[in-house]
Structure 1
């Protein structure tokens, strides 16, 4: 787990792995993937320390632990602060990614589209869902449906074009075999 000092947290500074570390100095040779160089300013991970869970793993954990996530209820504004208070060692970056996955899901957007009340982690009703937020959820769903329809249309057109090209090639082969002097 990364621990961030209060000063660093306010600046939203996070640590990176050696693979993510990109420095402007390009004179040094690149390290092989997965191997750290001597110039790495990162301290080595403590033996026995567990890496932060992935965002999807964290989301599954949140769904098991909290009714608001499990039932896909509209989340209260500031739910991230509630999560930090309940789970102090939680990696902020991973938590935000998990929240993004959850709140961007079709199920959540559909719930938000019709919702009137937001819920805290325990599933207790709180503030109302504004018309702006309901409209935003509706627009997000419409954009997704539109993109999906466009993707399917393009896929269908590509398949039709491939079939037409195959038929043309087959016809050319038939003509070539008919008029060849074998």
Structure 2
């Protein structure tokens, strides 16, 4: 009974109250042309996680997809191309990407940096190559230490198990039954 009147009221009041949140439907948005704007900047429509954003960047930009050394100031290029992008999420995604083993390996041997489209730009400095090399060495060292600790823990556990078995065997041998 009143559902038609309520829908008409919402449709009539939505444009008249700019301070109130929009209550238009998705069909009305696409008819009004609001959907293409949301598609152009998906970060504005719904916040992406850093990993989801990184996946999107890898799909859209050759420099991310091919894991090329990124140009200094790539964050400004990203913000220019994707204006609705959340800076904090973007920085987290860039951190994941530039901290990856694949990127560090590419950086260690790289001569040039690349912009979003994969166009060569400035040279990679020796300092940056050395930093990538040191990061890789630290990771390999940490991984080796972790594996060594796991092996030592497994060996200690096995020795403890064998000791317990010997004690049980001795206890059963010398028990008064």
- TM-score class, shorter: 0.7 to 0.9
Picking from 106, 112, 116, the partner of 2:107 is 112
TM-score (norm 2): 0.75
Q: 1:143 aligns with which of 126, 129, 138?
A: 138
Count of equivalent residues: 138
* 3-state SS of 2:92 partner: helix
SS in 2 for 1:181: coil
C-alpha separation in 1, matches of 2:73 and 2:121: 12
From the superposition, tell whether residues 50 and 88 of structure 1 become closer, same or farther in structure 2 (CA, over 3 Å). closer
**Structure 1 residue 50, shift from structure 2 partner:** 4.8
TM-score if structure 1 supplies the norm length?
0.73
Matching of residue 60 in structure 1 with residue 55 in structure 2: yes
For residues 139-174 of structure 1, what are the alpha-carbon distances to aligned partners after superposition, in whole Å with 9 as ceiling and x for unaligned?
Answer: 000000000001001110000000000000010010
- 1:154 pairs, out of 134, 149, 152, with 149
Distance 2:55 2:88 in 1: 16
Equivalent residue, structure 2, for 1:134: 129
Q: Which residue of 2 aligns with 1:72?
A: 67
Q: Which runs of 5+ in 1 are unaligned?
A: 1-44
Q: Distance in 2 between matches of 1:55 and 1:46?
A: 28
Please give the secondary structure, in 1, of the residue aligned with 2:113: strand
Aligned to 2:91: 96
SS in 2 for 1:57: helix
- Taking only aligned residues, the RMSD between alpha carbons, in angstroms, comes to 1.7
In structure 2, runs of 5+ residues without a counterpart are 1-20, 27-43
Q: Whole-Å Cα distance in 1 between the matches of residues 135 and 51 of structure 2?
A: 21
Q: Which residue of 2 aligns with 1:122?
A: 117
Show the counterpart of 1:23. Answer: none
Q: How far apart are 1:181 and its partner, in Å?
A: 1.1
Which is richer in helix? 2
